[in-house]
Structure 1
Amino acid sequence: MSYFEVVNPLFGRYVLGNAPVKQIATGFDWVEGPVWFGDAGCLLFSDIPNNRILRWSPGAGVSTFRQPSNFANGNTRDRQGRLVTCEHGTRRVTRTELDGSVTIVADRYRGRRLNSPNDVVVKSDGSIWFSDPHYGIMTDYEGFLAEQELPCHVYRVDPSGEIEVALADFNCPNGLAFSPDETRLYVADTGRMFGSDPQHIRVFNVASSGALSGGEVFHTISPGCADGFRMDSDGNMWSSAADGVHCISPDGHLIGKVLVPELVSNLCFGGHAKHQLFMTATTSVYSITLNRRGAQNP
Structure 2
Amino acid sequence: MASVTNADITVVPTKVEIIDRLAEANGKLKAFAAPKDQVSILQYQSTFGDLLGPSPTHSLLLSTEGTSHNPFFHEACVFLPKYDEVYITSNLLQSTSSSTFPTILISRVKLHRGEKDNVHKVEWAKMRPPPGIDMPNGGVNYEDGILFCAQGTSASGTGGIYYMPRTAPPKAMVTNFHGRDFNSVNDVVVSKDGCIWFTDPWYGHEQDFRSRPKLPNQVYRFDPKTGDIRVVADGFGRCNGLCFDFGETVCYITDTDQIHGDGTKDLMRPATIYAYDIITRAGAPFLANRRVFAYAAVGFPDGIKCDLQGNVYSGCGDGVEVWNPAGTLIGRIMVPGGVANFCFGKDGEMFLCAEQKLWRLQMTRTTKGALLGI
Partner of 2:108: 55
Q: Is the 8 A contact 1:52 1:70 kept in 2?
A: no
Q: Which residue does the alignment assign to 1:241?
A: 316
Residues 1:21 and 2:93 are matched in the alignment:
no
Q: Shift of residue 267 of structure 1?
A: 0.9
Deviations 1:113-160 (A, max 9, x none): 1010001000010000000001122124xxx14211111100100132
Report % sequence identity: 29
Query: Which of the residues 161, 173, 179 maps onto 2:227?
Result: 161
Residue 67 to residue 96, structure 1, CA distance change in 2 (3 Å): closer
- Taking the aligned partners of 1:47 and 1:18, their CA distance within structure 2 comes to 31
Partner of 1:148: 213
**1:254-275 residue CA offsets vs partner (Å, 9 max, x unmatched):** 001111112200111013x3x2
Gaps of 5+ in 1: none
Q: CA deviation at 1:65?
A: 4.2
Check the 8 A contact 2:182/2:214 in 1, yes or no: yes
Find the aligned partners of 1:6 and 1:243 in 2 and give their Cα distance: 14
Q: Does 1:184 align with 2:246?
A: no
Q: Match for 2:356 among 272, 275, 283?
A: 283
Task: Report 1 or 2 for greater relative contact order, CA contacts < 8 Å, sequence distance ≥ 6.
Answer: 1
The answer (yes or no) to whether the contact 2:129–2:136 under 8 Å persists in 1 is no
User: Residue 107 of structure 2 contacts residue 126 of structure 2 at CA under 8 Å; is this kept in 1?
Assistant: yes
C-alpha deviations, 1:175-229, integer Å up to 9, x for none?
1000100011000111161463222001111124311111100011110111011
Question: AA paired with 2:71?
Answer: D
Letter in structure 1 aligned against 2:58: V
**For 2:234 and 2:56, how far apart are their aligned partners in 1?**
41
The one of 63, 82, 89 aligned to 1:39: 82
Specify the structure having the higher radius of gyration (Cα): 2
In structure 2, runs of 5+ residues without a counterpart are 1-13, 16-39, 65-69, 94-103, 112-120, 153-157
Deviates more, 1:156-165 or 1:194-203: 194-203
Considering only aligned residues, what root-mean-square deviation do their CA atoms show, in Å?
Answer: 1.8
TM-score if structure 1 supplies the norm length? 0.92
Deviates further, 50-59 or 250-259? 50-59
Q: 1:81-230 maps to which residues of 2 (within 5 A)?
A: 81-89=144-152, 90-97=158-165, 99-140=167-208, 144-159=209-224, 160-191=226-257, 193=260, 194=264, 196=266, 197-208=269-280, 209-230=284-305
Query: 2:126 matched to which residue of 1?
Result: 64
Distance 2:358 2:304 in 1: 15
2:349/2:360 contact within 8 Å kept: yes
Runs of 4 or more consecutive aligned structure 1 residues displaced over 6 Å after TM superposition: none
Displacement of 1:106:
1.9
| Structure 2: distance between partners of 1:195 and 1:262 | 17
* 153-162 vs 178-187, which moves further: 153-162
Deviation at 1:21, TM superposition (A): 2.7
Separation in 2, partners of 1:81, 1:297: 13
TM (norm. structure 2) is 0.74
> Aligned equivalents of 1:14 and 1:195: distance in 2?
33
Distance in 2 separating the partners of 1:204 and 1:39: 32
Question: SS where residue 308 of structure 2 aligns?
Answer: coil
C-alpha separation in 2, matches of 1:107 and 1:113: 7
Mean CA deviation greater in 65-74 or 201-210: 65-74
